[in-house]
Chain A
Amino acid sequence: MSQLAELETTDLMPDDDRAALAPEQSGIGEVSQTRLMIRRFRKSKLAVISGIILIIMYLGAVFAPFLSPNDPAQVDANYKFSKPSHLTLNGGPGICQVKQVIDPVTISSHYVTDCNNAIPLRFFGRGFEYKLFGLIPTDRHLVTVDKGKLLLFGADSQGRDIASRMVYGSRVSMTIGVLGVIIATILGSVIGTVSGYVRGPTDTVIQRVIEIIMSIPQLPLWATMAAVMPPNMSVTGRYFLMTIILSLVTWTGLARQVRGKVMSYANADYVNAAKSAGSSGSRIVLTHLVPNAASHIVAVSMLAVPTAILAETALSFLGIGMLDPAISWGVLLQDASKIDVLQQYPWVLIPALAVILCVTCFQLLGDGVRDAVDPYS
């Protein structure tokens, strides 16, 4: 058994480090805990790839106006539920023209695509005006067209460009969950540490409160809290209230985890040593318990992000989270909530791919971090 345990410790080292080990000395003791964690993290390729994808997605959120060919809020009745633009290479990259033809007999309109006279794509062309980083006014965009509209993923019920709205939507959807979890982490760490360190009646009361909150199903609780937000709030106000609502439920799980960790550390010999050396309670908490629990807290928090992102999306989808003038993936998906619409215009479901990609990446990243932080859990 002991032999296997030994195998495992060496198992965690990448090959180059192992080769550097002379038979009589082991380098394990010389490597800092943080570096070990980074090494372990780098070993899980899926997590690293997920991290890179997420970084790209966040960059996309920062440069959203540059990446969007169309103003995401521009309503255009002519393009209601318009099909995704037909891309063509006929005479250089371009999109096929779409002409609306009204049938004289049935008086219903239908569209005809014509790829022989493609509208060329223009890179770094001019489009709607915006301020890059909120500072630099410009009207350059990655891709534009001179005539008509470039609708990579089609248009929604009000003729707005779904692709542009998806890029813009990431600004809300990819931050609201993370912010909510950050608030929840602060709440959870403080309450969890107090609960685990002070113990006694304080602990009991906190644990009962957590239990009660946990015995309300998450989504209905979120929905109820979101629904009582006044409907006439500003977009930013709603955004911040949503983060708080998300955190009000999420903190309970984190607090429990932190409490468990703190309790196990509080029994450790080095804490007893610090106590007998006369360290004050706050000193022990700040110098021994918090740093030790920190990596664990980060790992657990990361794993809470996907749920929070999904919660925002689901609530907005239901029409009780973010509301229309705001752009988030959930708001975009509201169009998909009617089965007949979805059947006729399946491209309204495309934003779902962004949700799935983002959530999967956060899940894999969180798993990777957790495995790197405590490989034995």
Chain B
Amino acid sequence: MLVFIIRRLAYAVLTVVAVSFIAFFIIELAPGSALTEEFARLRAQGAEVSGAQIEAMEKQYGINDPWIVKYWKWVSGLAHGNMGQSFLYHEPVSQLIGSRLALSVALSFGAIIVAWAIAIPVGVFSATHRYTIPDYIITVIQFVGVAIPEFLLALGVMVAAVKWFGLQVGGLFDTQYLNAPWSMARFGDMVSHLWMPLAVIAVGSTAWLTRVMRANLFDVLGQQYVQTARAKGVPERRVIWKHAVRNALHPLVMTFGTTLGALISGEAIVSIVFALPTTGQALVQTLISKDTYVAATLLTLLSVLLVVGNLISDIALAWIDPRVKVTD
């Protein structure tokens, strides 16, 4: 098992390295550079930028270096936690990312926990009560849940919250807590700002996972070993939860990566609508403002999240399913 985990870990590291290459490559494709944007901005503000200054800055940032050198500078900086300066936010990227990453992790993994916690019991109910009215209702709800894109749902929820419930939405804190020191009240305020986006992010995945769970469990219930358990005299409830659900969970664990990917994507776009300071939101902001190196860093970081998620699901699967060859 330890060997298995180490192998997977090494694998994950290699994947992250490959992803960083891709991220950097895409960014490098962009015409112009982060500096061109910055100069344009400075000029627009009425500042004089001379050719000598441009040259000096280009040299400082190594704009004209071959891309492999630039990649090396960028990636070694990444590895040392020195991620350079953001043009957009005018603060060191590492500082920018710290709290944002925590929030992204909290939202994505929070959403996955919510999605699982709802999807499993509902899916079990749906599969064991097939073709009953509650099952039809659940099916309709999850169809709608899958079909409504997160950002539209986020918009709808926001309007509803403001219009009918008079709630303050958007951002992480109310204005009064914005610069206040941490306290229970401030934490509570944060939670009251977070539950709505969390729910919105979780909706699509919950609906999808319910569907997967229902289909899986229905397949498993047709398996011979479920009959065997019944034939032994095992009570029906235990037949379902101990013998059937346990097996129906495997495909769910296998799709953990897909789910997490969808949640990270959802987190990015929902955070923009709700104006939450997360990694995904920063990524889009930096992309729009052509803060390209920071964008590459953020994209890599989001991938790290997904790779870690996949690693966890691999290990979890090996742990719960005796058929997975751990020596593999």
Interface residues of B in 142-197 (CB under 8 A from A): 143-144, 146-149, 151-152, 155-156, 158-159, 162-163, 169-170
Residues in A with CB closer than 8 Å to B19 are: 212, 215-216
Measured CA separation A212–B23 after assembly (Å)? 11
Tell which of B23, B144, B310 touches A224, judged by Cβ atoms closer than 8 Å: B23
B310 neighbours in A (Cβ, 8 Å): 215
Bound-state CA distance A363–B169 (Å) is: 31
User: Is B277 in the interface zone, CB < 8 Å from A?
Assistant: no
- A residues apposed to B, CB below 8 Å: 211-221, 223-225, 227-228, 230, 306, 310, 313-314, 317-320, 333, 336-337, 339, 342-343, 346, 349, 352, 355-356, 359-360, 363-364
- B interface, over-half SS: helix
- Contact assessment for A220 and B288 in the assembled complex, using a CB-CB cutoff below 8 Å: no
Please tell me if the beta carbons of B156 and A339 are within 8 angstroms of each other in the complex. no
Q: In the complex where A223-B283, A227-B295, A319-B288 touch, is A343 in contact with B302 (Cβ < 8 A)?
A: no
Contacts of A227 in B (CB 8 A): 30, 287-288, 290, 295
The answer to whether the Cβ of B317 comes within 8 Å of any Cβ in the partner chain is no
CB-CB nearest 8 A-B residue pairs: A219-B265, A227-B287, A228-B30, A217-B264, A360-B147, A212-B18, A352-B152, A216-B303
| A360–B143 touching, CB < 8 Å | yes
- B29 CB contacts on chain A under 8 angstroms: 228
Distance A35 CA – B36 CA, assembled complex (angstroms): 60
Which residues of chain A are near B299, meaning CB under 8 Å? 216, 220-221, 224
A215-B306, A310-B149, A337-B273 known; A320 vs B261 contact (CB < 8 Å) = no
Q: Is the CB of B302 within 8 A of A355?
A: no
Question: B212 an interface residue at 8 Å Cβ cutoff?
Answer: no
Q: Check: B56 CB closer than 8 A to any chain A CB.
A: no
Question: Which one of B15, B143, B146, B162 lies within 8 Å of A343 (CB-CB)?
Answer: B162
Residue of A nearest to B263 (CB): A217
Q: Give the most central of A214, A224, A306: most B CB within 10 Å.
A: A224
Range, interface on chain B: 35 or more
0/1 per residue, B261-291, Cβ < 8 Å to A? 1101110110011000000100110011010
Q: Please name all residues of chain B whose beta carbon is closer than 8 Å to the beta carbon of A224 when the two chains form the complex.
A: 23, 26-27, 283, 287, 295-296, 299
Give, as a whole number of angstroms, the nearest-CB distance from A222 to chain B.
9
Q: For the complex, what is the distance from the CA of A153 to the CA of B16, rounded to whole Å?
A: 47
Pick the contact of A317: B151, B158, B265 (CB < 8 A): B151
Residues of B249-267 contacting chain A, CB below 8 A: 257, 261-262, 264-266
Show 27 A/B contacts (Cβ-Cβ < 8 Å), sorted by A: A211-B15, A214-B257, A214-B261, A215-B257, A215-B306, A216-B23, A216-B303, A216-B306, A217-B305, A218-B265, A219-B264, A220-B265, A220-B302, A221-B299, A223-B283, A223-B284, A224-B299, A227-B290, A306-B147, A314-B149, A320-B287, A320-B288, A337-B155, A339-B159, A339-B170, A346-B159, A356-B149
